[in-house]
Amino acid sequence: MKHKPLSGRTALITGASAGIGYATAEELASMGARVVVTARRSPLLHSLVQAIEAKKGEAKACVLDASNLEQIMRVWEQSVAWAGKLDTVVVNAGRGLAGGLLSSDASQWEQIYKLNVLGAAHLMRLAAEHMVQKGGGDIVVLGSVSGMNISPFSGFYGSSKFAITAAAEALRREVAAKSVRVTVVKPGIVLSEFQDQAGYEPGLAENWQAKFGKLLEPQDIARAIGFVVSQPPHVHINDIVIRPTGQDYP
How buried is 3 (Cβ within 10 angstroms: 0-12 exposed, 13-18 middle, 19+ buried)? exposed
Q: Tell which positions 153-192 bind ligand NAP, by CB under 6 A.
A: 187, 189-190, 192
Q: Which 92-151 residues touch ligand NAP, going by CB under 6 A?
A: 92-96, 115, 142, 144
Whole-number Å distance between alpha carbons of 206 and 209 = 5
Among 6, 9, 10, 21, binds ligand NAP (CB under 6 A): 21
For the bound state, the minimum distance from the C-beta of residue 181 to ligand NAP, rounded and expressed in Å, comes to 19
Establish if 244 lies at the interface with ligand NAP (CB under 6 A).
no
Q: Which amino acid is at 144?
A: S
**CA distance to 84, 90, 182, 224, per residue, from 187 (Å):** 31, 14, 16, 10
Cβ proximity of 79 and 12 under 8 Å: yes
CB 8 → ligand NAP: shortest distance, Å? 27
* Min separation Cβ 114 and ligand NAP, Å: 8
**Nearest distance in Å: CB 39, ligand NAP:** 4
Please choose, out of 28-36, 37-45, 101-109, 236-244, the segment that lies near ligand NAP by the rule CB under 6 A. Answer: 37-45
Measured CA to CA, the distance from residue 33 to residue 90 in angstroms comes to: 13
User: Considering 22, 113, 157, 200, which one is annotated as catalytic?
Assistant: 157
- Note whether 79 binds ligand NAP by CB under 6 A: no
| Helices (runs of H) and strands (runs of E) counted in the chain | 9, 7
157 is catalytic: yes
Single out the segment in contact with ligand NAP by CB under 6 A; choices: 64-72, 75-83, 130-138, 230-238: 64-72
Tally Cβ neighbours within 10 Å of residue 159.
20
Instruction: Return the SS3 of 115.
Output: helix
User: CA 218 to CA 221: how far, in whole Å?
Assistant: 5
C-beta of residue 230 within 8 angstroms of C-beta of residue 11: no
Least CB distance to ligand NAP at residue 208 (A): 10
Stretch that binds ligand NAP, among 38-46, 166-174, 201-209, 231-239 (CB under 6 A): 38-46
Choose which of 169, 174, 193, 217 interacts with ligand NAP (CB under 6 A): 193
180 DSSP β-pair partners: 137
Residues 199-238 that bind ligand NAP (CB under 6 A): 218
Count of residues touching ligand NAP (by CB under 6 A): 32
Q: How far apart are CA 111 and CA 232, in angstroms?
A: 37
Taking CA atoms, 38 is separated from 5, 49, 83, 152, 158, in Å, by 23, 11, 14, 31, 24
Which residues does the annotation mark as catalytic? 157
Contact set with ligand NAP (CB under 6 A)? 14-21, 39-41, 44, 64-67, 92-96, 115, 142, 144, 187, 189-190, 192-194, 197, 218
